[in-house]
Structure 1
Amino acid sequence: MNSTVALAASNGSEQAMAPLCCIVGATAAGKSALAMQLAEARGLSIVSADSRQVYRGFDIGTAKPSHEDRRCVPHYGLDVVDPEERYSAHRWALEATRWCDEARSADRSPLVVGGTGLYVRALVQPLDAVPELDADRRAALEPWLASQSLHELQRWCARLDPVRAHLGRTQLQRAIETALLDGTRLGDHLARPQTTARPVRYLVVDPGPALALRIADRVQAMLAAGFVEEIERLRTHIPADAPAWNASGYGVLRQYVEGTLPRSAAIERVIIETRQYAKRQRTWFRHQLPTEAVTLVNPLEEDARDITLAWWDAAQQSDGVHT
């Protein structure tokens, strides 16, 4: 049974078919603040859809919710696996299904919040069509993929699966793996028409041109909170090839910690890297979500909180939109 069917059939009640509400957007857009305001006002639980926050110990650079936020609102999807472990969208969707059920069992509706679009899609669309790759063959291919530059991965992907050649390193690796190990294109699988087993509503958080400055400010805030010190601790016991190091900023600042990159240059590269990642996220949400199921909100506007509350309340009164 795929994750979507499991989500819809898990308790068979009318509540299970209520619209699944997702707050999404680029990194530093302001999703978490609006989600916390909504969750506190409506008694919700938050399910994190963030491919970086699943790793234990990688806290500051992934902007994990504070301990205070976690005390105020139950959170799922944080600190799920060790940094050395590979974690897929398919696995997240299966576990997110269970987390949503746990939230409902505690009389708290789940609210999916995050910037990893593939995670959200894995939860709301069937994944049976996406091939499962042999774990041993993937492990054998991993060292070669890890040794390739981003440019080289893009070049390979442009030949093997062109529609995915513009994506980030993790998505490029997955596309190349699928093409080489399964003989098919992941882009073709994901482009097939899909239907969901439940209605979905999306709140897309986007501050517009202000996002670039927000990213720079967030990087500075992370540094002030001990981002470098966190990396110094992690590198003493986490292997350099651990998947968790792929989170934006960690690899570059580790170069600074190891003395191979000046601090000012490292910070500038982190900001640029994060902005590039945010651009890819914004593009994904702009083109991959059904417009009829999307509400846009600028978190910098005075009525952002009111829009968010109204979005939630309206979703609870409707049967949603099937994507």
Structure 2
Amino acid sequence: MTLGKRSRGFTLVELMIAMVLGLMLLGGVIGIFLSNQTTSRVNNELASLQSSARLAFQLMSQDIRSAGFAGCNNSGRVVSVINGAPLWSQWRGGLEGYAVGTNGVSESLRLMYGAGETASVRNHVPPVLTLNEASALRVGDIAMLCDDTLSSVFQVSARTVDTISHAAAAPLNCAADLGFQFPFVCADARPRIFPGGSMLMRFESVLWLVAPSADDAAINSLYREVMIGGVLTREEVLFGVSSVNFAYQDGDLPFGPVAFTPAINMGNVVGLQVALVMDPNAFTNADLPLEMRTIRFFASVRNRLR
């Protein structure tokens, strides 16, 4: 009787087959790992892009919706007493589009409107407005004052608890008058007395443009240019925007926003389609195709909707 067969090890062929199978399995696992890692990078980049763009959407949409609001009855009669008539002070219905390169490196858009908390006028003895309640305006701010027939844009020269002054002593006011005639001619200024009940508010003139980033001049960013204390200030809103394009919806035509041309009647625009194209150099963790780097949204100019 035998005690058992003598044990033996693997043959060379069996060992080689096992190694090949193990390498194939390991290769599959590594392939899945790398694929998941790439997908994770793309998803993270997209999440970062969407999160960064959300603030830009909110700010730009708010500006577009507010464009054209001149207070009181939204009169088209708006005058500016700002010296030198800079573009940011010249009312053209509250919305103006510009071609590529006019401002920055891409298309741009200027939006104007009255904003913030309003204060009502008790009486007006130029250049002092006496108010029924305190105003949030400060010296140097740009203000808009309106009644049923006219809106005036000026710089605040002085203030107290219940008064706002529009004297020519303010650096930007060309006169202490607020534009009796329309259109306003500073050299022929005449007193304009606003009656009690007129409304005073902050004047916003916002330019959206694309220009080189302050952090990396090789990459562009989306900027929001505003007046702060009478000084033009650019706020960098979104890093890594290579271009922005606007399509304009004419309120007299069926829906179908069209690209900018000088022939567009900006006074008829009731909505804008905005397309932000992100710079691939700003996203180093994933190679995003153009469609994934293009973010679009539509906003209505609510003060023009009929």
**Is the pair's TM-score, using the shorter chain for normalization, greater than 0.5?**
no
TM-score interval w.r.t. the shorter chain?
under 0.3
Larger radius of gyration: 2
Return the TM-score normalized by structure 2: 0.21
| TM superposition score normalised by structure 1 | 0.20
